Amino acid sequence: MPAPLYRPQAPGIATTYADVENHAEAQGRPLVGTPGAVTLRLHGSGGNFYVRQYYDYDRVKRDEYIVAEGAEDAAKQVEEWRARIQEANDLIESVRLLSREGYLLITPKQVATLAPLVIHGVFTAGGVLVGSNAYTVIVNRLGIRSAAFATEDVDIARPGKLALPDAPKGGLLGMLRESGIDFVEIPPLDPRQPSTKFKERGRSRFTLDLLVPAPGDDYGVLPVPELDAHATALPYLRYLLGETQVGAALSKHGVLSVRVPTPERFAFHKMIVSQLRSGSNQKAVKDRQQAAVLIAAVGEMHPGALELAYERTPVSTRKHIRKSFEGIRHQLEAHPQSLETMKSLLTK
């Protein structure tokens, strides 16, 4: 018998996560970097001012200007900033507790990248975090403990036009540069096509991909005017984005409220794309492993969810799901309820 793919978190620690998720959604503008502290910066020519002094994703000390020392509302602004910093410290204390109990974290650089998107309302306007970072949020939200799947990439999907309340000059690239990371567009292989990917300048492999659903079964490139960008159009992405939920991305630098797919749709989509990948099968194996964990958990914790999600898969994809299932059947033997559910669905 294989080892179980997950184990439930204790109810008490799951309640702590729920509190953190609620705080993330209500926190307003998130702080980027460590919470830091308010300090008075002495200016050589006079006119001292208050700053928030903190460390960024790269452990570099930074100053964020708050207010001039003699300004009329200086005392009020300083007090408000100290309250925000204290709230951020309280959240990070909870994140440390969650991390010790097996909750999964994203990296400081990833949270720095996502923070401007949160600030500008990309996720509240319908944008969706996908890929392995979304898996991290989904697993935490389910209240289960499972293996982590590290990734340097950030993947953002746009299901339809985003009604952004605060689109900055420079579009998506302008937002990304607000993170303090020097993002640049990655030139496409075909010079006639616009870029759909962004990376940190230099030798870094840290990238962000913008994705949209393809109108058919073919890959392509489509414009995203509200972000002044272009995106890679992927087949079957519309299914993944058809049902989403809000969750908290946790990091040692703070928490962010983001939108992610539901676990059952994420699982079936991973089973589909694992069969569409070409070349090395390393990513396909990771796809199936993530799918197996979520199928095991959802089948046991939320009866009926897998059935409904499968009914809504495009019929043309079910051959891929069946083939992928053969690669995870043995792992699901530790979860007979979920295994029987899948066998029943795939024999219809």
Concatenate the DSSP letters of all residues of 255-286 into one string: EEEEEEE-HHHHHHHHHHHHTT--S-SHHHHH
pLDDT of residue 43: 73
Examine residue 329 and state whether it is found in any structural domain, yes or no.
Answer: yes
Residue 318 belongs to a domain = yes
- Mean of pLDDT values over 159-179: 88
Helix, strand, coil fractions of the chain, as percent rounded to 5: 45, 20, 35
Question: Which backbone phi and psi does 48 adopt, to 5 degrees?
Answer: -65, 160
pLDDT at 136 over 80: yes
Average pLDDT, rounded, for the chain: 93
pLDDT for position 278? 67
Mean pLDDT of 164-170: 78
Number of domains observed in the structure of the chain: 1
Task: Give the pLDDT score at 123.
Answer: 96
Q: Give the pLDDT of residue 139.
A: 97
Dist. CA 137–CA 288, nearest whole Å: 18
Q: Read off the amino acid at residue 284.
A: A
For residue 113, which of 198, 179, 208, 184 has the smallest C-alpha distance?
A: 179
Residue 337 in this model has a pLDDT that exceeds 90: yes
pLDDT at 162: 93
Classify residue 169 by its DSSP letter.
T
- Residue 299 forms part of a structural domain: yes
Which range is most confident: 45-59, 184-198, 286-300? 286-300
Q: Is the pLDDT of residue 68 over 80?
A: yes
* Domain assignment present for 222: no
**Which residue range is the domain that position 312 belongs to?**
262-348
| Extended strands (E) in the chain | 7-8, 37-41, 49-55, 61-68, 128-130, 144-145, 154-157, 183-185, 197-200, 207-213, 220-224, 229-234, 244-251, 254-261
Q: What is the pTM of this model?
A: 0.94
Predicted local distance difference test score (pLDDT) of residue 236:
95
89 falls in which pLDDT band (50, 70, 90)?
Answer: very high
Q: Residue 7 pairs with which residues in a beta bridge?
A: 145
Size of the chain, expressed as the number of residues it contains: 348
pLDDT value of position 244: 98
pLDDT (tens digit per residue) in 242-298? 999 999 999 999 999 999 999 999 999 999 999 987 665 888 999 999 999 999 999
Is 124 domain-assigned? no
Q: Determine contact, residues 331/2, Cβ cutoff 8 Å.
A: yes
Instruction: Please report, rounded to a whole number, the percentage of residues in the chain having pLDDT higher than 70.
Output: 98
pLDDT at position 348 is 73
β-bridge mates for residue 231, sequence order: 222
Residue 342 inside a domain? The answer is yes
* Helix 11-26 with 74-100: angle, nearest 10 deg: 150
C-alpha distances out from residue 338 to 272, 307, 310, Å: 18, 11, 13
In this structure, is residue 288 part of a structural domain? yes
Does the pLDDT of residue 45 top 80, yes or no? no
Is residue 12 in some structural domain? no
Instruction: Give yes or no for a contact between 24 and 98, defined as CB atoms under 8 angstroms apart.
Output: no
Of 146, 149, 148, 145, nearest to 13 by C-alpha is 145
Dig out the tokens for 41 from the structure: 């910066």
Q: pLDDT at residue 77 above 70?
A: yes
pLDDT band at 44; cut points 50, 70, 90 = low
Among 63-72, 164-173, 238-247, 314-323, which stretch is predicted with the lowest mean pLDDT?
164-173
φ/ψ (deg, to 5) at 250: -100, 140
Phi (first) and psi of residue 155, to 5 degrees = -120, 125
168, pLDDT greater than 80: no
Taking residues 65-90, report their average pLDDT.
Answer: 93
